[in-house]
Amino acid sequence: MLIRLFIIVTAITAYSANTLAVLEIIPKSEIEDISIAEMRHLTDELRKQAVLALPSEGYSVLTRDNMLALMPPDEAEADCLAESCAVEIGRAIGAEYITQGSMGWFGDELSVSIELYETMSGKLLGSIVMESPNVKGLLIAIREQSPALFARIVKSNTPKSTPAPDTIIIEKPLPTPNSPLLIPPLPTKKSNTPTYIAISFDILGAAALGFGIYQHSKATSHYNTYKNFPPEEWEDRKSEYKAEYKKVTDAQTARNISLVAGGVLLLSGITIHIWF
């Protein structure tokens, strides 16, 4: 459980800024002659086009393994999420954007529709519909049409420029000896203290998690040594048995404390980053 906590916290920290999750393209109904491998290949191509379309800095695309690692450990809970809409799944795994795709028949041709959502607001940023008589044609259509869809993510994060207001000349009366000069207050500089505190928590949390992982490997090593003692030598090597077992328990205790403390520190740092 603690190891899984470390994986989830680390993954969320690594992918917390403008993360896109590309869900698997699923069939609306039974489609003959289309294998699961071909469906996955279409999804992989969609994910590849997302990586090419989005800037390398500030944006990241979750892989299939990333999303599986972030799913709840309980199988029933994961199945429940799989049956929910794309927005709910995106919120559950901490992704800012998510795509949902489905395949079906439109007349005599295969049809694939892809929808792109912003998970926080649930807003539909855009969608594309592609049709082709075969899977290869759909693959080509994804390469041609999906970049424009993913460009909407960057567009949604680009601040809109406001037109400059018309110039207005305001005549102010000259100050008289009886009226004090009005001096505008100096602009105040925003404090960077919360950012420094958040970065400190991030560094301490990462160090604590690293130390916890080291203690985990250490406890495993001591336990392997302990369990390899031959039972027939227990009476002759009782003190050595106890000493080695104490090393196991001490390392496990240090591991548990370090992983919990590291997770709390990292979550605190992330909260400060978001809040301020």
Q: Cα separation of 269 and 14, whole Å?
A: 13
Relative orientation angle of helices 135-157 and 36-53, to the nearest 10 degrees: 30
Place of tokens 């207001």: 165
pLDDT of the residue at 47: 93
* Tens of pLDDT, residues 231-276: 766 666 677 777 877 888 888 898 889 888 888 888 888 888 787 7
Could you tell me the CA-to-CA distances from 111 to 46, 101, 132, 153, 155 in Å, in that order? Answer: 15, 10, 7, 24, 27
Longest dimension (CA), the chain: 105
**What distance in Å separates the CA atoms of residue 140 and residue 132, rounded to the nearest whole number?**
9
Q: Encode pLDDT of 73-108 as tens digits.
A: 554 444 444 445 788 888 888 889 999 899 988 888
pLDDT at position 84, please? 52
Residue 190, pLDDT score: 59
> Any idea which of 40-44, 115-119, 143-147, 264-268 has the lowest mean pLDDT?
264-268
pLDDT above 60 (res 173): no
Number of H helices, E strands in the chain: 8, 6
Mean pLDDT of the region 164-180:
53
Structure confidence at residue 107 (pLDDT): 85
In this structure, of 8-12, 107-111, 130-134, 268-272, the range with the lowest mean pLDDT score is: 8-12
The rounded mean pLDDT for the chain is 77
Mean of pLDDT values over 60-66: 82
| Helical axes 193-227 vs 2-14, angle rounded to 10° | 150
Residue among 186, 140, 169 nearest 41 (CA): 140
Tokens representing 171? Answer: 């005549």
Highest-pLDDT range among 23-32, 137-146, 260-269: 137-146
